Amino acid sequence: MSAPLVHVRDLEVRFVTRDATVHAVNGVSFDLAERESLCILGESGSGKSVTLRALMGLNPPRRTKLSGTVRVGGHDILAASERRLADIRGGTVSMIFQEPMTALDPVFTIGRQIAETVMRHEGLSRASADARALELLELVQIPSAKRRLAAYPHELSGGLRQRAMIAIALSCRPKLLLADEPTTALDATVQIQILLLLRRLQQEMGMGVIFVTHDLGVAGEIADRVAVMYAGKFIEEGPVRSLMRAPLHPYAQGLLGATVHSGMRGERLTTIPGAPPNLERVPKGCAFAPRCALVEEACLPAVPTFRSPFPGHAARCVRVRDAA
Amino acid sequence: MLLYLIRRVLYAVPIALAVGLVCFMLVQIAPGDPINAIVPADAPQEVVEQVRRDYGLDKPLPVQFGLWLGRVVQGDLGRSLATGRPVTADLVPAVANTLTLALVAAGIGFVLGTLLGTVAAVFRGSLLDKAAVGLAAAGVSVPHYWLGMVMVVLFSVTLNWLPAMGAGPGGSGAWAWDWAHAQFLVLPAVTLSVIPMGIVTRTVRGVVMELLNQDFVTTLRGKGLRRGGIALHVVKNAAPSVLAVMGLQLGYLMGGSILVETVFSWPGTGFLLNSAIFQRDLPVLQGTILVLAIFFVALNLVVDLVQTALDPRIRRA
């Protein structure tokens, strides 16, 4: 049996400042096989971006306290030195960010920003790195790629900037691509193009992909599996079809109920009342209980364990029947 | 780029003209009749009128300004009322001396300020950061003429390590790059460097701190760049704003060293201005202020051009 590409067990991330400790991630466990794509769904502050960044040790080093196990491509991320991490980042695992305008250096050309990554990891000469940069811009389907090499980020449209960002992320053929809301900052029409591009590239290059988003449409488009995150925990995990059609956890049901999809003209959108808990204190029971319409006695004393009614689909809710 | 350069230089011309007008008017507005400084108080009225005509002080102001400007453009700044020598004869060596002093002081201040500011930003919140911020605040707050006098007392009078005044052995104004002359430069240059050091420290600290919090730095870390690679990006991003502050500071050093030059008897423009003011020597005053102001305009032009070269977001259209 080969080891999975990503192996995460009991990951906890805390941000410590003088005033408070924020428990951003509270025990996340999952595996990702090679070529598999996982989508982490959740609202702002649920800890999804922090989880993603923990996979490549990108959270601010001085304030972040990590515990648990994170292995990516055989590397122990939590034990690795900053030097070692720098070799892994961009080579084995790389990341696409939400806002390509601020995630790219404004005073360096696109070509230079791609080439420096290639030079850093593969030790190519400047000339061959530039040639690779051109290939990459063509790979992500940027028109008149040659001219765009010399362009600065502000000279490109949002969609082209995000393509350039993808080109940087793919420049050293990573085994794992992390995408932090890669389409949130883009126009609706451009979002679809970027998603299709990412799906095609994932298949062609055989990468594992982990997506973070709050957009259910994105999740349905690209993911094999979906995990729903709330207050720093996975509360439901399952194959994309099964989870989208029949979510188990009341929070996941609420998330789907609050989304517009076709064939619901005239129906009211349901919303989830209340706000997510303050993560300065970790709730003892189910974190969603205060907002849950179906809350009962059993929800409060301890965090519910995963219950799985069908193989591969599980949720942390006492109301879910456990078949196993 | 060449077209942009030419246009920026042309833009500077009206500014220089306005500067000239202000210089000219400043002297006209100042109370007191300069004639009184030339002729004895008991001179007969005809003599006073004669002198007034000789210096062209009887013509209407716009005509005086036109005549003055015409001569200035040809490099003739008039003659000193006090000594009768051409203004340029005293002004050129004074400007050279001030420039030497300002450049050395700027060099010390900018290098130290950049180092301190960078260290403070990288280790923000640490003891090093607090020390750098404290040093910067002290540098900006201490009156530099007072600091100059303290340094003279300490290093010249008590320790007898460095000369207290002048710009060379035997009181000569001629500058040369050897230790005999350079030792005269140490105290005034260090004194002058303290303010730009403080201001550059604060600027660099602020700019670098803000840059290190930018998303693109996370991207750079995510690409696997090491410290050196990230530093390159931070430097190029920080350069335009830091250079703007440095340019301004160099300008202040050129014009603002009057007190320090007086404390150290440094034969520069500040020293020249000081004596011109006390002697009501209008042509010298005018000429010196004009040259310093033009320097400021030129410096701003250079900073603008460098910024444009470094930051592609500043439009070159």
Q: What pLDDT score was predicted for residue A190?
A: 85
In Å, what is the CA distance from B49 to each residue of A36, B55, B62, B80, B282? Answer: 100, 10, 20, 19, 18
Tokens 């202040």, residue located: B252
Query: What is the average pLDDT across B292-300?
Result: 87
Do B229 and A120 lie within an 8 Å CB cutoff? yes
The pLDDT value recorded for residue A213 is: 86
Task: Map out the domains of chain A with their CATH numbers.
Answer: 6-92+174-315 (3.40.50.300)
Give the model's pLDDT for residue B19: 86
Pairing of strands A64-72, A75-76: antiparallel
What's residue B198's pLDDT? Answer: 93
Please give the pLDDT value at position B34.
65
Q: Which residues of B touch A (CB under 8 A)?
A: 214-216, 218-226, 229, 233, 236-237, 310-313
Q: In this structure, what DSSP letter does residue A89 have?
A: B
Residues 78-137 of A with CB under 8 A from B: 83, 86-91, 94-95, 97, 99, 102-108, 116-117, 120-121
Shortest Cα distance, chain A CAs vs residue B300, angstroms: 22
Q: Which residue of A has its CA nearest to B226?
A: A86
Best of A16, A75, A104, A105 to disrupt the B interface by mutation (most B CBs within 10 Å)? A105
pTM (2 d.p.): 0.80
Contacts of A94 in chain B (CB under 8 A): 222-223
What pLDDT is recorded for position A1? 47
For B47-78, how does the pLDDT look when each residue is reduced to its tens digit (9 = 90+)? 888 877 877 777 788 888 888 788 888 888 77
Q: Which residues of chain A make contact with B224, given a CB cutoff of 8 A?
A: 86-91, 117, 120-121
A108 with B236: Cβ contact below 8 A: yes
* Confidence band, pLDDT 50/70/90 cuts, at residue B232: very high
Name the least confident of A183-197, B10-24, B46-60, B258-272: B46-60
Burial class of residue B206 in the structure, from the number of CB atoms within 10 Å of its CB (0-12 exposed, 13-18 middle, 19+ buried)? middle
Average pLDDT of chain B is 83
Between B37 and B198, the higher pLDDT residue: B198
The pLDDT score that the predictor gives to residue B317 is: 47
Q: Say whether A97 and B224 touch across the interface (CB within 8 A).
A: no
Please report the pLDDT score of residue B176 as a whole number. 66
Among partner residues A58, A89, A107, which is closest to B312 by beta-carbon distance?
A107
Residue B43 is which amino acid? A
Q: Chain B within 8 Å of A152 (Cβ-Cβ)?
A: yes
User: Is A269 at the interface with chain B, CB within 8 A?
Assistant: no
Q: Which pair of structure tokens corresponds to residue B26?
A: 């400043």
- CA A219/CA A240 separation, integer angstroms: 8
**pLDDT tens, position by position, for chain A (324 residues)?**
467 899 999 999 999 888 888 999 998 999 999 889 999 998 888 889 999 999 998 888 888 899 999 999 888 988 888 888 888 998 889 999 888 888 999 999 999 999 999 998 888 888 999 999 999 998 888 888 889 999 999 999 888 999 999 999 998 889 999 999 888 888 888 888 888 888 888 988 889 999 898 877 777 878 889 999 999 999 999 998 888 888 889 888 888 776 666 555 666 677 787 888 888 888 888 888 888 888 888 888 888 888 888 888 999 988 887 775
**Do B214 and A87 lie within an 8 Å CB cutoff?**
no
Q: How far is B219 from chain A (nearest CA, A)?
A: 6
**pLDDT above 70 for B37:** no
Higher pLDDT, B276 or B40: B276
Beta carbon pairs, A and B, within 8 Å: 77
Q: How far is the alpha carbon of B95 from chain A, nearest alpha carbon, in Å?
A: 37
As annotated, the residues of chain B forming the CATH 1.10.3720.10 domain(s) are 91-310
Fold of B91-310: MetI-like fold (1.10.3720)
Strand order of the β-sheet with A225-230 is A93-96, A176-180, A208-213, A37-41, A225-230, A233-239, A313-315, A307-310
Q: Decide if B222 and A89 are in contact by the 8 Å CB cutoff.
A: yes
- Closest Cβ opposite residue A103 in set B219, B224, B237: B219
**For the stretch B63-87, what's the b/e string if a residue is b when 16 or more beta carbons lie within 10 angstroms of its beta carbon?**
ebbeebeeebeeeebbbbbbeeebb
Residue B172: predicted pLDDT: 53
Q: Least CB-CB distance to B215: which of A103, A117, A154?
A: A103
Average pLDDT over residues B268-279: 84
Answer whether residue B305 shows pLDDT above 60: yes
**Which H, E and C letters describe B21-75, residue by residue?**
HHHHHHHHHCCCCCHHHHCCCCCCHHHHHHHHHHCCCCCCHHHHHHHHHHHHHCC
